[in-house]
Copies of this chain bind each other. A is one copy, B any other.
Amino acid sequence: MKASQFLITTLKEAPADAEVVSHQLMTRAGMIRKLGAGIYNYMPMGLRVIQKVEAIVREEMNRAGAVEMTMPVVQPAELWQETGRFEKMGPELLRIQDRHERDYVIQPTSEEVVTDVARQELRSYKQLPKNLYQIQTKFRDERRPRFGLMRGREFIMKDAYSFDRDEAGAKASYQVMAAAYRRIFDRFGLKYRAVAADSGAIGGDLSEEFQVIAATGEDAIVYCPASDYAANMEKAEALAPAGPRPAPANPMVKTPTPGKSTCADVAEYLGVPLATTIKSLVLATDELNEAGEVVKSQVWLLLLRGDHDMNEVKVGKVPGLDKGFRFASIPEIDAHFGCKPGYLGPVGLKKPLKIVADREVAVMADWICGSNEPDFHTTGVNWGRDLPEPDLVADLRNVVEGDPSPDGKGPLAIERGIEVGHVFYLGTKYSKAMNATFLDTDGKPKHFEMGCYGIGITRLPAAAIEQNHDERGIVWPDAIAPFTVVVCPVGADRSEAVKAAADELYAGLLAAGVDVIIDDRGERPGAMFADWELIGVPHRVTIGDRGLKEGMVEYQHRRDAAATKVPATEALAFVKGRLSA
């Protein structure tokens, strides 16, 4: 490609609304242009990256035996009504009407359509397993789109859906995809982790997120440096502490803590470690009648160590809380504790409730909690002696750095990531909702066992940039760079030798199948180098008159601090040697 024939539209300044570095750099490098909130033009420079991402994904999906098709962007509402998602999904599902006032949605994902395809086309067990995928435009009407391609409204997703005879088959299909995803992410040339994720109502352990590691990532990733254990924060288990609960050592004493309504304030005020305090969280569950009216409510007290955070996903799995819960109302709290929040505790309740202790709390002795009286806390509280044992003990909290890894291989570490892929075992959730069946070996209809597998095609470049950039711009891995090599002639307008040498190297690289661009725009060297460092092309060869007189050109990798002189006659071979396989 010749730069003069391409469209290079770099900017000195990032737009005011670009909060994250990938959004800033993709805009400045001329890769995207905002057309509306969360809606972007993929400019030529950005589209090249997206197309390289797509090509890698397509190749590996095909290699894994998945079959590509394309489902419509505009989908009839009827299918979405079959699963109830037309009503249940929030406003992020963009609902539209055509000229005949029939309802449609713009696809945010395609479980309904692909399940409809399966129930029509996959009629016999002989056609299974089958994995259908598409790389297609999606739309989610986010309330607050931001961060450029990181959280856009219109985006491109690769979504795949596997169909199997039975659970064993579905799990095998899942593993095929999980392995394909590892190959895909390896090929992108990014640091990533496949982390176990919560599988929600489906249950089981077959849910993994593919997280690109970046300090700016939204998600906390838990991993064990000494093993391959990795999970997201929702999923990572906090083990039950080893050893028995210590015996009580102190008497229970009610202590004034005027105005100290948080564990941190109380610990500081009393001069004790935060880890000796316990926080009380009051939840409630409702029993409804057929009309959807609340007929009975139950209040729950959850106890966590003062320095731990509640994990909502884990709480949602506690028996009794697993059908949905809410935070208790002030009247409910008052009825059970006779006190306002800030000084609550499990001792001396006005009215019984269900107490769930975090695993850590269950083995603590001589702890501190609220006295159910404003401005007072109680120290030296002990299970069994001062209050009954908890009704339930469960893992209720987020893990923290240093917690033991669930696989017993050492302490856990935490880093941040950006989710760009997800593999998920769906079971029969959609096939049952849509009565999608095939005829099994016994001639009887059976619901498909399904899995779904997504990759955020347009999110991936943004994540790659969050991980790979410096103060001058983007640093692309070779595999997804818009161009692999840029040839920069300096003063080609003044020197025939420079122009000839640059054209020759460019032609040589092109002939070798290298994705190369030559900057023939006639820009001054400073502006030219700044552009290519901003755009992040990994390999640059600079050809100037002074160097050529000594028979040399300059090679510089985008990560190199300085250029390397290379004999002009060896430049082609040198650059080819530097490209990743």
Contacts and interface: CB of A to CB of B under 8 A. Distances in A.
Interface of A: 5-7, 9, 30, 33, 35-36, 39-44, 47, 50, 65, 67-76, 79, 91-92, 94, 96, 98-99, 104, 106, 113, 116-117, 120-121, 127, 130, 132, 136-137, 139, 141, 143, 153-154
- The residue in A9, A39, A43, A69 that gathers the most chain B C-beta atoms within 10 A of its C-beta is A69
A128 to B, nearest CB: 11
Copies in the complex: 2
A47 B113 CA distance: 16
Contacts of A91: 99
A65 B106 contact: no
Contacts of A74: 36, 39, 94, 106, 139, 153-154
A70 B155 CA distance: 11
Contact of A137 (B79, B99, B137, B141): B137
Given A36-B74, A73-B73, A94-B99, 5 more contacts: A33-B120, A35-B71, A35-B116, A42-B69, A44-B69
B98 A141 contact: yes
A518 to B, nearest CB: 15
A69 B47 contact: yes
Given A5-B65, A121-B9, A41 B71 contact: yes
Given A72-B40, A96-B96, A67 B132 contact: no
Contacts of A76: 35-36, 39
Given A35-B75, A35-B76, A141-B98, A42 B70 contact: yes
A242 to B, nearest CB: 50
A72 B141 contact: no
Contact of A141 (B9, B73, B99, B120): B99
A524 to B, nearest CB: 14
Contacts of A104: 36
Given A65-B5, A137-B137, A39 B96 contact: no
28 contacts: A5-B65, A5-B67, A7-B67, A7-B132, A9-B121, A35-B72, A35-B76, A35-B79, A35-B116, A36-B74, A36-B76, A41-B69, A41-B71, A41-B72, A41-B117, A42-B69, A43-B69, A44-B68, A44-B69, A44-B132, A47-B68, A47-B70, A72-B154, A73-B137, A74-B94, A74-B154, A96-B96, A99-B141
